[in-house]
Every structure is written in structure tokens, then in C-alpha cells.
Chain A
Amino acid sequence: MKTDDLIAALAAQPAPQPLWLPGLALRIIGITALACVVFLLVLGPRADLAAALIRPEVVMKTALPALICTIALWLAVRQARPRLHPRAGLAGLALPLGIALGLWLLAFATRAPEARFADVTPPALAECLGLILLISALPATMALRILQRGAPTAPALAGALAGLASSAGAATGYSLFCMQDNPLFYVTWYGAAIGIVTLASAVAGSRMLRW
């Protein structure tokens, strides 16, 4: 085909609807919130939720993943536009990561050695990792699909950020059910679950978000 003919054919097509980044963000957060609500309707929030939420480390268990979700979501939808410097802005994630690290170290320093990892039992880990992965699965998949309408110039990174946003959102919802209030537990194991989803989404993104 001659290039001039190609141009003529392309120009004959109607103008598309422009991409609206807040719309993408709303769709991703909507699906993530829906997954959390369904989970909480099925298993229910912890019985003492209202009483527990006056303790700072319980508040942090919900607020920290919510913060990560918010930052990652914005970074993810920005990847929908082709960018020359796709990594610009990633430093914004240093804030929640720094808080998480500080929380972990503070808990480590203030707890008696035998109380630090006492709650790490196979059933507790299976519950925490398993449920966060379960809640994340659909939102992470949908987030990747939503980003497919964009043109990410770093598909793996875009996938990772979409996975990070969805799994941090899932962890936020899960935290209202979870009884583990020790930051040494939840920073580590929420972090592990979020890390697994982020990594898997990076791999999926490098395939699904190619264009």
C-alpha cells in the first residue's frame, strides 16, 4: 500500500473520543471498591472495628494501603498516555514506602522479642495472603484491560502500577476484616501480597499492554 493511500484511508475515519484520565481512574477504583464491598459483605468486617479504629496502628493498617492505592492509581493512569519519561513521578511512592518502613522499625523496636513474630502462623499467613490475592485478582485484571485503551510506552511498568493500585486497594478493604494489628505482621504480609500482584501484573502488562 502506498503511504499516501494509507493516509487518505486513515483521514476518512471519524475522530475518536479523547482519553480522559480521571475516567480511567474512576473505573479502576470503582471495580476495586466493588471487590472489597463484596468481600466484606460475605465475610464481614471485624466485630470490634469501631473500637479498634481508635488505635493508631489499626488506623495505619487501613490508611497506608489506601495511600499507596491512591498514589499508584494516579501514576498508573498517567501511563495511559505515551510518555518519553515513563518513570517520572515514581518517587511519589517513596512516601508510603517510607512510612511503612518506619512503622515496621518502630514496632520492632518497641515490642518484646518474643511478641514480635508470635502471630506469624501458617493459617494466619494463608488467610492474609490468600484473601488479599483473591480480592485483587479481578480488579488487577480489569485495571490492565482498562489501560489497554491507552498507549503506555513502558508496558511492564504500567502493568505493575495497575497491579499495585488494585492490590493496595484490595488490602485496604481486607484490613477492615483482618484482626492482625501488629505492624510487623501486616506491613510484611500485606506487603508480600501486594508485591506478588504487582509483579504478576508487570509480567501481564508487558504482554497485554503492548501496542
Chain B
Amino acid sequence: MSDAVLRVENIWKSFGELEVLKGISFDVAESEVKVIFGPSGSGKSTLLRCINYLDPPDKGDVYLRGVRLGDPDTDINKVRARIGMVFQHFNLFTHLKAIDNVAIGPQKVLGLSKEEARERAMDALRHVKMEKWAEHYPAQLSGGQQQRVGIARALAMSPDVILFDEPTSALDPELIGEVLQVMLDLAQEGTTMIVVTHEMGFAKSVADEMIFIDKGVIVERGTPHHFFTSPESERAQQFLHKLEELYGQSEEKRNTLVDRDA
């Protein structure tokens, strides 16, 4: 698949004795939404951090539009600027207003003028419906609002792909909807995304492919339809069953919200 935006090839990663990733491979095509899920400690977050080389893999390669990230000639900072990242705990810059959180990347990394960067930041904030909060500091915003600023910060760089690392796991239940809504909109506009999440409603409505990871390996992959009707592996079945038990009710509620807007 030469038209892959991102190619992950046989990634291995261990921390000391602990092997976290044991040979993960997949491709992400243009406008594709890839959902990665699996039990906690299965290596999902590590995988995302290997993809943008925040934690370089021990073995294996990552290619962004054909450019090998591990290549000594590759300027990793330039490549990272093209891979957006949204974090579980938002990780906004606390000393900057929402608008400056979003503008600082385009200004300092892409070299835009201050005015251009702010304009672009404002567009991104509008995209996540946070333009009214542009002049607020992160500590003055709710978790859901902070996460939307976090998404705007990634968007403003016009990245080739955005990685989402459990973007709703740290949110109060009533705030999850607004963040998922923004992510749904992005998915439908054709944003290329890799999303680590347990929000199965989101996966159902927009994932092109779901990947189930356990103990550092891909156990099973397929369409949402495949996973929600006939998952093959016992581990995936058990895990999906557990999710349903835990989140079943709120999941339904959220699905209605998702369906209405989809």
C-alpha cells in the first residue's frame, strides 16, 4: 500500500525487562479512522508514542508519507509537526490562553507571523466551538473545553494524521459528549486519525478499522461490524463484553447522541 499516510512496521518496544510491544504493524490510509482498543497495560499509549518517536521503538519502522522516522537524516521535529497528538490529560500549556496554546505551534514551528498564527488558531478554535473561550486560561476551562482546545492545538498545525490517546478517559461523563462530537465531525470531514479509546459508540459510527491489542500484540482486527457481531478471538469477546457491562447504559445514551448528529 504505497498511498498509506502512515505505515507502522513491526514495532517492538520494551522498558527494561518488560516487553510492551511485540511486533505491531498496520497502515493508515488517507482519511482513514483507525480505532485501537484493548485492556489497560496492553501497550496502546506506548504504541502512539512510538509512532511519533516520543518513545522511539527498539525495533521496527514508522513511515510518514514514505519518510522513515528512524532515518538519521530525518529531522524528527519537522516530522512531529505533521503528526498531531491529543492527550488523555490534555497537557495544555498552563501559562498560555487558549488562543496562544493553539497559535504557538504555527508561530514557532511553522514560522507563521504572529497575526497569521492567531488567525489560524482562531479558525481551529471555531472548528471545535471554542472561539468564545479564546482568551481564557486552561485552568479556567472545564475538562471537556480543555480537551477541545487540545484538539484545536493539533488541528492548527494541519497535520497529516492526528493521534488521540484516550481523549475522553479523564473526563467527567457529562463532558465526554462534546469532545466525541468534535472528533466525529473531524472524522466525517476526512481527517486521518488513530484513536485509542474505549468509546465503542464512537468506534461504531466512524471507525474504518478497529484493532484489538492485548499484551503487546494485535490479537484481532476488523471493521466495527465484525467486532460487534462476530469477534473471533476469545480475548476480544471477553473484553467487549466487559466494556458493555461497565459502560452499557451510558454507551447507549451516547450512541443516540452520535446517531442524531451523524
Partners in one complex: no
